[in-house]
Amino acid sequence: MTAQDIAVEETVEALTPYLPEAPSRLLEIGSGEGRLASALISKGHDLVAVDEDRSAIEAAQQRGVDARVACWPQTPKTTGDEENTTAIHGPFDGILFTRSLHHIGELESALEAAWEALTPGGILIVQDWAWETVTEGDAELLHRLIDLARSAGWSVSDEWNDADGPPLRDWRNHLNEHGLHEWTTSRTALGARFQQRAETNHPYWFRYFVTFVEGVDRGGEIVKAVLELERSLIRSGALGALGRLWVGTRGPGT
């Protein structure tokens, strides 16, 4: 299995207990190159995937995914692409925000649009991360992993190259520059719009290694080992679980 396969497998494992029974009609918002979408389609779901990145959507389409360049929420907003106005029509039995909700500036509008696009009783699943909960120890571990990846000659994004101050300060500066929603903000907005069914914690650090080992021999084995290490550290209490999975349903009314 590749590094990307390991990441998709972990996501499918987390989502499966909460997905509507197949066949169901799903919408994935922030689908990237369609790896998760393809996996869910193989399990019998009818899925529409949307992302603002045209190259990612083209890759998803090559996987046989019904993937469309589109904004969410669907407003007159554009991204410099005159074709970035694909209309997405519900209703859907389930909507997935897969590590995308924290990027969406219009948080309440995005969730209102999701509520409108769901069938009554439809499922909303949000896979995200609580980056604001990172401790000094967590940040120190991340920096050590980045140093290890860099010393091994693996690909590390340039945005980490200036991380030479206190790890926690650098971590927060790095994320604040991106204007991400904190998980507590997203969680409050979700609870105001949907009826909560579940919230669980999951590993997340290992996902950085998916990009670090791209093109590396036995990259999948490396990522799987890092994932198992992260799970072990979480169980022992030595590391906080950064990933979150929130599940809710569309109830009656608004």
Convert the pLDDT of each residue in 196-248 to its tens digit: 999 999 999 899 888 888 778 888 998 999 999 999 999 999 888 999 999 99
Cα distance between residue 108 and residue 105, in whole Å: 9
Instruction: Output the CA–CA distances (angstroms, integers) from residue 10 to 89, 100, 143, 161, 223, in the order listed.
Output: 29, 17, 23, 29, 11
The number of CA neighbours under 13 Å toward the Cβ of 235 is 6
Question: Residues 105-139: pLDDT tens digits?
Answer: 899 999 999 999 999 999 999 999 999 898 888 88
Residue 241 in any domain: the answer is yes
Is the Cβ–Cβ distance between 211 and 157 less than 8 Å?
Answer: yes
Question: Residues 21-52: pLDDT tens digits?
Answer: 999 999 999 999 999 999 999 999 999 999 99
* Strand stretches in the chain, DSSP E: 25-29, 46-51, 66-69, 92-98, 118-129, 195-202, 243-249
Residue 202 in any domain: the answer is yes
Query: What CATH number is given to the structural domain containing 140?
Result: 3.40.50.150
Residue 254 in any domain: the answer is no
Question: Could you identify the residue written with the tokens 């219009």?
Answer: 106
Instruction: Output the CA–CA distances (angstroms, integers) from residue 94 to 21, 82, 155, 169, 247, in the order listed.
Output: 10, 29, 35, 38, 10
Instruction: Please indicate whether residue 253 or residue 155 has the higher confidence score (pLDDT).
Output: 155
Instruction: Please indicate whether residue 156 or residue 240 has the higher confidence score (pLDDT).
Output: 240
pLDDT confidence of residue 209: 86
Range(s) of the domain holding residue 96: 3-249
pLDDT confidence of residue 253: 60
The amino acid at residue 53 is D
pTM given for the model? 0.90
Specify the number of domains making up the chain: 1
Considering the chain, what percentage of its residues have pLDDT values greater than 90? 63
Quick check: bond before 17 cis, omega within 30?
no
Is the Cβ–Cβ distance between 125 and 95 less than 8 Å?
Answer: yes
- Sign, CA torsion 163/165/166/169: negative
pLDDT confidence of residue 83: 53
Residue 159 in any domain: the answer is yes
Residue 151 in any domain: the answer is yes
